[in-house]
Chains A and B, each alone.
Chain A
Amino acid sequence: MLRYTLKRLGSTLPTLIAVLTVIFVIIRIAPGDPAIAILGDNASQQAIDALRERLGLNEPLLEQYWYFLSDALTGNLGNSLVSGRSVLHEVLEVLPHTLDLTVAAIVIGVILGIPVGILAAVYRNGPVDYVARIGSLLGLSFPSFYTAILLILAFAIHFPWFPVISNANLSDPGDRLYNLVLPALSLGLIMVAYVARTTRASMIEALGADYIRTARAKGAPAFVIVARHGFRNAIIPIITIIGLYLGLLIGNSVIIEIVFNRPGLGKLIVGALEQRDYTMLQGLMVIYAFFIVLTNLVTDLAYGMSDPRVKYQ
């Protein structure tokens, strides 16, 4: 396990550098001068030159790339062009909101999705399975803003139980949870669909294996067969899907944050786009890159822990 972990950690840095390179390339291939894009067409030449100097755009491309990489890897993301505050500081300020949202969505996805998936697999081709399959396909077809809007209409407007605008006071756990309910459900219901489908497929495969027949033959109780022999072996694809769809959750959280007017990375990114806050945008992309690489790492390590076969590969 230790060797596997170290090997996996070793491959993280090259991946991170590659992802950062993609960000650098995308940001720099923009047609036109970023300084003009930020200041607008009517800006004076002096102002444009000053901004170019400040952003380091006058350096040779390779040097810019080097500075970008070393700054990103040391956590120096520069200052927002709009507020003048450190990008990292602004991100850390709203990060708890986004983390709350994504973690809650995963919890909802796991708590509801896994039992539904197992039931569908155990009663395969029966009515339960049929409803679960169509329901989950419908669930993952829901655009996240639509789920959010329907939930708002139902539980914030028709029954005014929850707030329409979700702006929680982080120091008050009750308020934090109360404001989280609708946004987390909007995002979590998509996750339920993905988790249920993967659990079903993975359980069907596990339950079809020879060792399940053996377990049945020796008279093991049905619950033990499903839980210990089946589920234990079905869990890897489920972990993968949760890791894989974390990216999907992060993407969808942007939309949910806009609908609920909730602070978070998503709102920060849209604000940066609207105000042409170049350094903020670049910084946010770097943060997303770190997130993604970290998620992949954690997912792979979770394999190692849940399946002893993984480390021998």
Chain B
Amino acid sequence: MNSLQAIQQQMLQAVLAERAHLPFTIRGDAIADADSRLAVYRHGYRIRLRDALKNEFAGLRSMAEQRFQRMLDKYVAAHPSEHYNIRWYGAGLAAFLDYARPWREQPQWAEMARLDWAISTAFDAEDEACIGMVELSSVPSDTWPGLLLSLQQNLHILAAHYNIEAFRRAADRGDKRPRLRRFEQARQILVWRKAMSVHYRLLEEDEWQVLSAVIQGEPFASLCERMANLHDETSATPRMVMLLQGWLEAGLIRGWSFG
């Protein structure tokens, strides 16, 4: 008699294998032969994983068009699922597209997958409180230079060399798919959740520079200095105020402290 462990290992291999081979423990009968019986599990495994990915990668689906199915099939063949929740199966897709031929030769696929995944994971990330202008106004004005802003921990910033944000937006809205365009210089995309809604948008260059300074823990005086280096005297301060208001309204800031 085969042990339970041996039977499960045989079944696992029979389901995962690219070509069907029959575990010796399965019985066929007059209703259906053993091959047909095993095929239900082999087929179901691939369909389920593919469907789970389709739900999470709306931008990639639009960008890849008819190549999407083959891309997913190759990923499923190369990467067995290891998490109990099928929802997390897509976590490795961007990395797969980074190294697997032929997709690694066209980095827009991995970039797009990374944006889709960031949006997907923001959806059910941990809830975080955010502060508004009222709370921040309570900070005494003479202490502002040393003010350290804390951003939402679930916020993502992704580098984009292609117009991946436009692909995702078109997919979300059901709009016509845009043409693929490579930026002259890499841009940054911000992904975050405010209350229960996930948002994403391209960052302007000055906003990206100041926001990365916030992430690195620089005080408010240093943020203003950076802004002054990017704009002339008359526009630097209004621009800083505008960005700060925008971050507060978007729910990006969860609190502050002093260095």
Genuine A/B complex = no
Interface residues of B (CB under 8 A from A): none
